[in-house]
A and B are shown apart, each in its own frame.
Chain A
C-alpha cells in the first residue's frame, strides 16, 4: 500500500471491488430474501467502519503489515499521509452516505415495511457503529431514540434497542456525554430502569474516578485553575446525570444546613445528642486557654469531648458550657477534626454518593434518631459541602470570617447553599492544612484522590483563620501518616473485640446488621484523612468514638454458626415472655427469617419444628408454620437461581410434611388444625397429597377405630381443599375416589358419603366422578370374567346349572326363588371361597356407581345394559346392591322408563327390581301399568304378572287367568296370589 508504483492490475481490482461493494449495498435495500439482506446490511456496517477512522486505534500503521492480526484491525487513519487510490475524504463521504441510507431504513415510514429481523439487525449495526465511531453519535442516536418499540411486534426489537442504548451508554467518548440523559430516559421507558440506573452509577463512578485521576496529574503542573475547571466539569456532569434528582439534592442541602445549625446551638440534653453530650467539661477548663497551651488544640479539644462523652449523661451540662464558651470557628474545627474518626465508609456513602445521586443510595444508614446518626448527618453534610467548595474558589478570598460565625451560631436565617459552602470552606482549612504543610506526598501517592487538590487550594489561607494561632507541627503528621495503617488495624481490632463482647451479652442481636455496617475494603481519600487524624492525636479517648458508631465484626463461619444456634434457641425459649409482651408477631417473623438465613447443617428447621410441635396451640404453631412456609415459598419463587430455589423448595416440603404428620398423629379427628394448615399454606406439594391419600385409604384391611377416625379426618380435609383450593381439585378428587373403592367397607362408606352427597352435586366434578365410577364398574365386570373363567372350570358344573347370579346362600333374600341353593357339595364350597372374594371385589368396585345412581337415575340404565355380559360374581354383586338402590330411588319416572324397555338379557335384574319395588308396599298405578305393558310387549313370562296379581282389580285378574293357567312355571308363589285374588 505504500508503494507509489501501483500497477494497473491493482487499480482495476479496486474498481471491481467498488462495483462489488455497490452491488451488495444495493442488495441491502432491495426487497427480497431477508437472509441476503441481513448479510448485505452487515457488509454495509463493515464498510462504514472501514471508511472512517477509529479514534481508539493507532493512527500509525503497524510495522508488520503482513500479519493477519494487523490487517483485521485496519484503520483508515493510517492513510492520512496520502494514498494514490484511496482518498480519505471521499471514503468518509461515502461512509456518511451509507450510514444515511442505513438510518433512512429505520425512519418512518420505511421502518413500517421492514421485517423485525431486519430492524433488529439495523439497530445492532447502528449501535455498533455509534459506539465504535462516536463521531456519528449525533446522527445515529436521534434515529434510535425516535424508534417506537411498541409499534413493532415481538420482544426482539425491544431487547435490541435496550442493548443498543446500554452499549451507547457505556461509551466513554466525550462525544457521547451529552446523550446520556436521553439514553437513560429512553431506558427507563423501556423498563430497564434498574439497569439504567446501575449503568449511570457505574459511569459516574468511572467518570469521576478518571476525572479525578486527571485532576491529580494536572495538579502537579498547574494547580489552581485546572483543577477548578475539571471539578466544574465533574460537578456539571454529575448534575446532568442525576437530572431530576438535582432539585431534591438542593432541598436536602437546605435542610441539612438547618439541621447542622441546630446541633451546636440547641444542645438539648434530653435528645442525647452526641454533640451536646460533649458539652460537659470539668468547667474550669475553658477551651481557649487550654488549647493554647497544647500543640494540637483542635485534637485536644476532640480528645476532651471524647472523654466527656465517655462519661455519659452526667457530663451533659459541662458539655453545654464548653460548647457555648468556645468560638464558632473552633467548634467547626472540632467537628471536622472529629469527623476523621468516622469509619471510612460512612462519609463516603452518605456524603459523596448522596451528592451525586441523591438520597437512598445507602438505606439503613440514616433514619434512626440515635446519637450516632445525628453526628453522621452533621458530618456528612459538612463533607458534602466541602467537596463542593472548588466551585466557589474565586469568591472565597474576599469572604469575611464574621460571616462564618453568624452562620454557625444560627443567628442568621440565611440557609442558602453557597453561603454554607463558604462556611465549610473556611472550616475545613485546619483539617486540610496538616496535609498540605506536613507534606502531602504520602497522601497523594497512597490514594491518588482528589482531596489533596482541595487541600492545596485553600492551604494558603490558614493564617486568616481566627482562633487558630498555632499550626500543627509538620513532622508529627508525616510520621503518623506513615504509620496509619497499623493504627487503623489496631483500632479495628479493638472495636471488634468490644463489639464481640457486646454481642455475646446479647446473642439475640441479628448479625446481619453488623455485616451491613462493615467497612468497605476500598481505601478512599477520606480514609486517608481519617487515619491521619486518628494517628496524629494518638489518644485512647479517640478510639472510643468509633466504638459508638459501628460495632463492626467480621466473624468466621464457625463463629457465626456458634452464635446462630443459641440465637434461635434463645428466641424460642423466651417465647412466652415475648408473646406476653405482645411481640409475638415480630418474633414469628424473625424466626422464619432466621430459618431461611441459617445454614442447613445447624438444623434451624428442626429447632423450629420442635418449638412448634412442642406446643402447637400455645406457641402459635399455625402462624409460625405459615410464616416459615411463606418465607420459603418466597425464596423458591423468587427465582434468583436454581440453587436457592431448589433448596428452599425441598426444605418447604420437608417442613410441611413433618408438621402435617405430627398434627395428624397428635390432633386426631375432629380437630381442625391440620385442616386449617393445609388450606392456608402457599401450596401443597405431592408429598402432602400422598399423606392425605394414606389417611383416606389406609393400607390393609384393618378396621380399627383409629384408622377410621383418620379416614374421616382425611376426607374432611379433602373436602375443604376441594372447596378452597381449586388448582388441586383434581388431585383431591382422585384421593376421594380412591377411598371410595377401598376394600374396607367402612372406609368406603365414609368416602362414598363425601363423594355422592357433597362432590357429585358439584357440576364441575360430576362428570369426572361418573367417568371414574363407570370405568371401575366396567373393569370389575371384565376382571371378574377373566378370573372366573379360571376358577369356575371343572367341578363347578352344578353351580353353572343353577340359577345364574344366585349361587350362594350368603346372599340376602332377594325375593325370588332360591332354587338350586340346596345343592351344596364339597366342590361348591371350595369355589364358594373364591366366589365370595370375587363378590366382595365386585361389590367394592360397584359401590360407587350404584351410589351415584341414587343421584342420577338415568345412570341406572347402564347397569341393565352391561348386566348380561358380566360374570356371575358381578351379577351377584349387582343383585346384592339392587334392593338398597331401588329402595333409595323408588319408582321414579326414569326407572319406570328403564323397566318399560329393558335391554335384552337383563330380565333377572328387572325381576329383582320389580320384586323390590313391590315388596312391602302398594305399587303405584304407573308401576302397575308399566309392568302390564312390559308383559304385553316384551316379556311373555307370567311370573311378572304374578308379582302384581294382588294389586290388580278382580276383572283384570280374571282376564289374565288363561295365561296363568297355561304358564309352564310352577311357582310356589302363584297359588297364594291367585287364591288371594279369587277371594278364597
Chain B
C-alpha cells in the first residue's frame, strides 16, 4: 500500500467509519474524520438528537445510549454501529482539528458539503511538502445500508488507485469506469 488515506464524513460515525473499518481490514493505511461542529446521533426524537463533542470516546457514547434506551438504539442500529466503531478507534476526530496527523495522499469524502469543507481547510493549512493530494467525493446517503455500499465502492476505487503507476495520469479513466 503506497498511499495514506483519509475517510471523511460529517460526524465520523457512520460513513467514514464504515469505510475506515473496511479499509483497515484490508490492510490500508487509513484514518477517518468528521467535519461537523459536533458529533450528532439520533435521539428519542427529531428535535432531540444526542450531541457529543469530537473526541468523546465511542465507548462513552455506547454506554450512554445503552443506559438511555437500549431498545431504541439497538433497533435503529446505533449501538451496533458504535460497537463497530470502538473496535476501529477510540473516538471520533474532527478533520479541521487534526491537521497534525500529517498529510494524506488520498482523501475520500462522502458528501459534497464535507468535500467543500475539506478543500477549504486544506487551502488554509500550511503547505510544507507541496505534495498533491487527491480529494474525491463519493456521494453516499447517510444510512447504514448506503454506508456499507459506499465503503465497498471506495475500497474498489482505492484498490485501483494503488495499482496505478501515477494516479495523476489515470484517475480520470478510473473515475469514469467506476
Contacts and interface: CB of A to CB of B under 8 A. Distances in A.
Contacts of B166: 33-35
A222 B177 CA distance: 66
Given A39-B130, A641-B40, A642-B40, A648 B46 contact: yes
Contacts of B123: 128
A646 B76 contact: yes
B76 A42 contact: no
Interface in A141-190: 153-154, 156, 159, 163
Contact of B176 (A117, A153, A643, A653): A153
Contacts of B137: 159
B42 to A, nearest CB: 4
Interface of B: 10-11, 13-14, 40-49, 72, 75-78, 112, 115-116, 119, 123, 130, 132, 137, 141-143, 166-169, 171-172, 175-176
A635 interface: yes
Given A33-B166, A34-B166, A644 B130 contact: no
B175 A154 contact: yes
- Among B13, B14, B78, B142, the one with the most A-chain Cβ atoms within 10 Å of its Cβ is B142
A184 B124 CA distance: 25
Q: Which 8 A-B pairs have the closest CB atoms?
A: A35-B168, A34-B168, A600-B45, A642-B142, A599-B45, A650-B76, A643-B49, A600-B44
Contacts of A599: 44-45, 47-48
A323 B112 CA distance: 60
Contacts of B78: 646
Interface in A281-322: none
A154 B176 CA distance: 7
Interface in A611-658: 635, 639, 641-650, 653-654
A978 interface: no
B176 A644 contact: no
19 contacts: A33-B166, A35-B166, A35-B169, A37-B168, A115-B172, A117-B168, A153-B176, A159-B112, A163-B119, A599-B47, A601-B44, A601-B45, A641-B10, A641-B142, A642-B40, A642-B142, A643-B49, A646-B76, A646-B143
Point out which of B47, B171, B175 has the most chain A C-beta atoms below 10 A from its C-beta.
Answer: B47
Contacts of B76: 646-647, 649-650
Given A647-B43, A650-B75, A38 B141 contact: no
Contacts of A644: 42, 46, 49
A116 interface: yes
Nearest to B14: A642
A596 interface: yes
A959 to B, nearest CB: 74
A598 interface: yes
A654 B169 CA distance: 51
A647 B42 contact: yes
Interface string A22-45: 000000000001110111001000
Contacts, number: 94
Contact of B141 (A598, A639, A643, A648): A639
Interface centre among B11, B43, B115, B130 (most CB of A within 10 A): B43
A635 B44 CA distance: 15
Contacts of B44: 599-601, 647
Main secondary structure of the interface of B (DSSP, over half): mixed
Interface in A93-151: 115-117, 128
Contacts of A643: 40-43, 46, 49
A221 B21 CA distance: 66
Contacts of A154: 172, 175-176
Nearest to B139: A155
Nearest to A118: B168
B113 to A, nearest CB: 11
A39 B115 CA distance: 21
Interface in A579-608: 596-601
A34 B46 CA distance: 48
Contacts of B11: 642
Given A33-B169, A646-B78, 19 more contacts: A34-B168, A35-B167, A39-B132, A117-B168, A154-B172, A156-B175, A598-B45, A599-B44, A601-B45, A635-B46, A642-B11, A643-B49, A644-B49, A646-B76, A647-B42, A647-B46, A650-B75, A650-B76, A653-B75
B142 A639 contact: yes
A34 B169 contact: yes
A116 B174 CA distance: 12
B116 A646 contact: no
Contacts of B119: 163
B42 A642 contact: yes
Nearest to A35: B168
B166 to A, nearest CB: 5
Contacts of A38: 132, 168
Contact of B142 (A156, A645, A647): A645
B62 to A, nearest CB: 16
A650 B79 CA distance: 14
Contacts of A653: 75
A17 to B, nearest CB: 16
A116 B172 CA distance: 7
B132 A647 contact: no
Interface string A933-946: 00000000000000
Given A600-B44, A647-B45, A642 B175 contact: no
